[in-house]
Amino acid sequence: MTLIKQEDFISSIHQALQYIACYHSPDFLAALHHAWQHEESDAAKDAIGQILINSYLCAQGQRPLCQDTGIVVSFIKVGMDVRWDSSLSLQELVDEGVRRAYGDLNNPLRASIVSDPAGGRINTRDNTPSVVHVELVPGNQVDINISAKGGGSENKAKLAMLEPSDSIVDWVLETVPTMGAGWCPPGVLGIGIGGTAEKAVLLAKQSLFAPIDIQALKARGPSNKAEGLRLDLYEKVNRLGIGAQGLGGLTTVLDVKILDTATHATSLPVAMIPNCAATRHVHFTLDGSGPAVLPVPKLEDWPQIALDASTPSRKVNLDILKKQDIASWQPGEKLLLSGKLLTGRDAAHKRIVDLIAQGKPMPDGLDFTNRFIYYVGPVNAVRDEAIGPAGPTTATRMDRFTDVMLSKTDLLGMIGKAERGDDTINLIKQHQSAYLIAIGGAAYLISQAIKSARIVAFPDLGMEAIYEFVVEDMPVTVAVDSKGHSVHSTGPAEWRAKIANIPVIVE
């Protein structure tokens, strides 16, 4: 009978979470490199290239792939012949591993979990509690699939209770465009079919643990209905032209995964959950012989690429920028930002608009006049870093605050990821502002452009505090110009039309 020791289990969780925070799996790297090689959209190719370079830098420096280091979700199969040498419950064992991983001084991960979700939403500071799913199975091992799911992709989860005669393909093709680009495509779509509502969602999430193998499946052909559905959805979703970061292009998904189970004769539950460009997950087993041993990545396994330097980038000095300067920026234009910018996310925006509504002044030292705000919650710095990985968060969450920010603070513009809503685009046009995007999934690469960082307001908010960054040649793209033109509308439309006449990926 296998004896699983408490410390072996906790240590394995700790090391697994550190591992997936920094290393892409080989199958994902191969699929992403394949997409980069075949991408014909300059903007999408550049975005994929930044993600690949970021991945190499993170592996080299053992730093997080993304500033959002996720909510921990584990699926644990416990053999019925296993005994435990532990005073903790299984939930407590996982949470202690999470606590150690996210507080690891050599590579601290961002704590994003808040308690009292419908009330005070107070950060627990150690990324616990995690989500644990347990199944008792025959055998004498403990089998663990563990992931760290970013909020941008998790928030795009979808569930539909379809009629048995409804088309799953039609539902997916109608739903994916509504998800926007906040889940940081290209990634993987996980689909669960059957069971009940909650079972379909669990199947969708579990499907994402499977290796990326769509190109091998295309080569050999489907052997069952589910595999045929995977191929059909892979091609048709990519034909939507959404592309990397929603900029328009050939590759929106790198694979489509499906798990199904029996369901009621009157039901067809279907769930869909995307995995983002960070795609953090790993599988390991414990057999009583000690902590899990994970494969040691080799830097030579990372594709070596160079970004296209032929496209000119306009250099922008943020410290002297005025509204009339923004008027000359073109949608889709690449900019290199230098100077000072402020940061802020949901909680900070809420405090700002509340202060304005109450007629109260901004905190000392906080002035948005002629400044840009970057939607980011960075990872803490280590060693000689100015700040840790600092990629953009989904900008649509800040749409509700944009009217006040542009009309009451003299803010010049905003930086984030993904699209803005129609009302917000109209506000940007009205105020002759601009919205820029940085690449989601390139957090460590972006942080190299940040030369100093200091908190200027709301330090109690932790990663949601307002910082002042001093940046040098921070790469961004004009997503909405001062005239209200959005690349998240024009890019996918352009590439959807092009893809209608060409294969998604040409070998």
| Sequential pLDDT tens for the chain (507 residues) | 799 999 999 999 999 999 999 999 999 999 999 999 999 999 999 999 999 999 999 999 999 999 999 999 999 999 999 999 999 999 999 999 999 999 999 999 999 999 999 999 999 999 999 999 999 999 999 999 999 999 999 999 999 999 999 999 999 999 999 999 999 999 999 999 999 999 999 999 999 999 999 999 999 999 999 999 999 999 999 999 999 999 999 999 999 999 999 999 999 999 999 999 999 999 999 999 999 999 988 899 899 888 877 677 899 999 999 999 999 999 999 999 999 999 999 999 999 999 999 999 999 999 999 999 999 999 999 999 999 999 999 999 999 999 999 999 999 999 999 999 999 999 999 999 999 999 999 999 999 999 999 999 999 998 899 999 999 999 999 999 999 999 999 999 999 999 988 754 433
Q: In angstroms, rounded to a whole number, what is the distance separating the alpha carbons of residues 94 and 129?
A: 9
Alpha helices in 150-209 (DSSP H): 151-154, 168-175, 197-207
Q: Which of these CATH numbers, 3.20.130.10, 3.90.1150.10, 3.30.230.10, 3.40.50.150, describes 314-487? A: 3.20.130.10
pLDDT at 505: 46
pTM over 0.85: yes
> What distance in Å separates the CA atoms of residue 291 and residue 455, rounded to the nearest whole number?
39
**What is the per-residue pLDDT for 501?**
80
pLDDT at 507: 39
Would you state the pLDDT for residue 312? Answer: 76
CB 164 within 8 A of CB 265: yes
User: What is the model's pLDDT at position 250?
Assistant: 97
Question: How far is it, in rounded angstroms, from Cα 479 to Cα 463?
Answer: 25
CB 245 within 8 A of CB 184: yes
Distance CA 334, CA 319 (A): 19
Residue 506's pLDDT is what? 38
Query: 22: left (phi > 0), else alpha (psi -120 to 50), else beta?
Result: alpha
Instruction: Supply the pLDDT for residue 124.
Output: 96
What distances in angstroms separate CA 380 from CA 107, 161, 383, one per listed residue?
9, 42, 10
pLDDT of residue 503: 57
Instruction: Give the residue extent of every domain in the chain.
Output: 1-24+65-149, 314-487
Give the model's pLDDT for residue 463: 86
The pLDDT of residue 311 is 73
Token reading at 234: 């892979």
Interatomic CA distance for residues 10 and 22, integer angstroms: 19
